[in-house]
């Protein structure tokens, strides 16, 4: 496939309601084709998918055991590097392939879903599950790249969308803000989605209206949401496990900190490359899809994919296939990989821009977009 797929028989669908209305037949046909894919794959979801995620989860916890053992009792740089690598694999899989899908409800309708059911799932990250489901599953996925509705069009000092209001005091050094955000990505998401950053007006996050008032009751609420995952998570990683290692406490502490950084950088690179680029669309405040088919088109053209081998994709939680994930957010990651060629073919046939390429290409697009939006309004 080409790095960026385009239909050969018809031009891309324009991004204003009048043009879409003029091409109603094509956009409806596009939606019906995607609905057919969704129906086919949903009919096949069952024990195979549950077994898959159980196997990934078991492997992940095996790697955790190896990593923590090597860090706690090992000596020298080789065992330290091996321990860090194994523990990072565990944390990355829990954050993405296992946790992200479970919290989207990918296994909720399967008998025996157990701990993978979204209502009871406990994410092995410092991110509050309920806050994440509200901000991410509902607001971000329903209103992707729509300014004023999607909380992810701004994140800290990053202004990701051309239509987002420009604040030179916040957004003028977006590249530095991007690296700062990536270095503590999970903690940043926690502050963003719990409303903590909004309440304290950190880096412009108050524009996203997570907080309706700044009363004492609201302050207590955001602190509760912020700390109920952060304290136990970092208490375990930065206090309990180091103390458990006795004389190797500093070695374990260093290893745990390094794995946190590695997970955050890898996750940030994955997420940024799926959403931020000068090749994807964002939409001005008030934009509405108007129909399911048009919503599909908006999802495809406001996200992008990147191509990686299967083991790398598993560490990404299939978010290298951000287009398919945004079209069908409740599909398990293994099913997203299965349907990607069919989705791309439908987009090509109906003239919807399906952007994909190498991970390096996607990263270059992230830098170009952040540099552009840091310079001020362009629309």
Whether 35 has a pLDDT exceeding 90, the answer reads: yes
Is 62 inside any structural domain? no
Residue 364: domain span: 4-48+232-374
For residue 191, name the pLDDT band (cuts at 50, 70, 90). very high
Is 342 inside any structural domain? yes
Domain count, the chain: 1
Q: Which of 139, 56, 69 minimizes the C-alpha distance to 98?
A: 56
By the 8 A CB rule, do 322 and 303 touch?
Answer: yes
pLDDT value of residue 172: 85
pLDDT value of residue 203: 62
pLDDT value of residue 200: 83
By the 8 A CB rule, do 189 and 183 touch?
Answer: no
Cα distances (angstroms) measured from residue 40 to each of 36, 48, 73, 342:
6, 15, 50, 11
For residue 17, name the pLDDT band (cuts at 50, 70, 90). very low
Between 161 and 79, the more confident residue is 79
Biggest CA-to-CA distance, the chain: 72
Whether 1 has a pLDDT exceeding 60, the answer reads: no
Is 245 inside any structural domain? yes
Is 44 inside any structural domain? yes
pLDDT value of residue 231: 97
Is 256 inside any structural domain? yes
pLDDT value of residue 302: 95
Q: Residue 264 — φ and ψ, nearest 5°?
A: -65, -45
Between 16 and 260, the more confident residue is 260
pLDDT value of residue 105: 96
Is 34 inside any structural domain? yes
Is 197 inside any structural domain? no
Mean pLDDT of the chain: 90
Is 311 inside any structural domain? yes
pLDDT value of residue 312: 98
For residue 197, name the pLDDT band (cuts at 50, 70, 90). confident
In percent, the amount of the chain with pLDDT more than 90 equals: 76
Whether 11 has a pLDDT exceeding 90, the answer reads: no
Axis-axis angle for helices 77-93, 249-275 (nearest 10): 40
Run of H or E residues at 72? helix 47-73
For residue 15, name the pLDDT band (cuts at 50, 70, 90). very low
By the 8 A CB rule, do 90 and 58 touch?
Answer: no
């Amino acid at each position: 496939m080409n790095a960026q797929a385009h239909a050969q028989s018809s031009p891309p669908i324009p991004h204003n309601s009048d043009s879409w209305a003029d091409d109603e037949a094509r956009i409806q046909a596009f939606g019906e084709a995607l609905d057919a894919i969704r129906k086919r794959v949903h009919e096949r979801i069952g024990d195979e998918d549950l077994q898959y995620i159980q196997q990934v989860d078991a492997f992940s916890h095996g790697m955790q055991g190896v990593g923590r053992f090597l860090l706690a009792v090992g000596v020298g740089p080789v065992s330290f590097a091996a321990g860090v690598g194994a523990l990072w694999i565990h944390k990355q899989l829990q954050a993405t392939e296992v946790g992200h899908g479970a919290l989207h409800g990918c296994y909720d309708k399967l008998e025996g879903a157990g701990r993978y059911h979204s209502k009871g799932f406990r994410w092995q990250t410092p991110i509050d599950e309920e806050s994440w489901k509200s901000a991410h599953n509902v607001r971000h996925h329903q209103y992707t790249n729509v300014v004023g509705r999607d909380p992810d069009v701004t994140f800290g000092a990053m202004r990701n969308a051309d239509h987002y209001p420009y604040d030179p005091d916040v957004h003028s050094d977006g590249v530095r803000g991007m690296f700062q955000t990536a270095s503590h990505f999970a903690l940043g998401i926690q502050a963003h989605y719990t409303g903590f950053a909004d309440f304290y007006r950190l880096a412009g996050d108050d524009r996203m209206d997570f907080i309706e008032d700044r009363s004492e009751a609201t302050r207590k609420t955001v602190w509760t949401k912020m700390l109920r995952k952060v304290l136990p998570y970092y208490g375990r990683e930065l206090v309990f496990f180091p103390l458990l290692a006795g004389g190797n406490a500093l070695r374990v502490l260093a290893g745990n900190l390094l794995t946190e950084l590695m997970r955050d950088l890898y996750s940030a690179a994955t997420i940024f490359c799926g959403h931020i680029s000068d090749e994807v669309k964002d939409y001005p405040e008030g934009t509405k899809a108007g129909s399911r088919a048009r919503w599909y088109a908006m999802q495809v053209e406001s996200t992008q994919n990147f191509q990686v081998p299967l083991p790398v994709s598993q560490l990404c939680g299939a978010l290298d296939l951000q287009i398919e994930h945004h079209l069908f957010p409740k599909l398990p990651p293994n099913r997203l990989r299965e349907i990607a060629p069919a989705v791309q073919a439908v987009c090509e046939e109906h003239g919807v821009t399906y952007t994909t390429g190498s991970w390096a290409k996607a990263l270059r697009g992230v830098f170009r977009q952040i540099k552009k939006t840091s310079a001020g309004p362009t629309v």
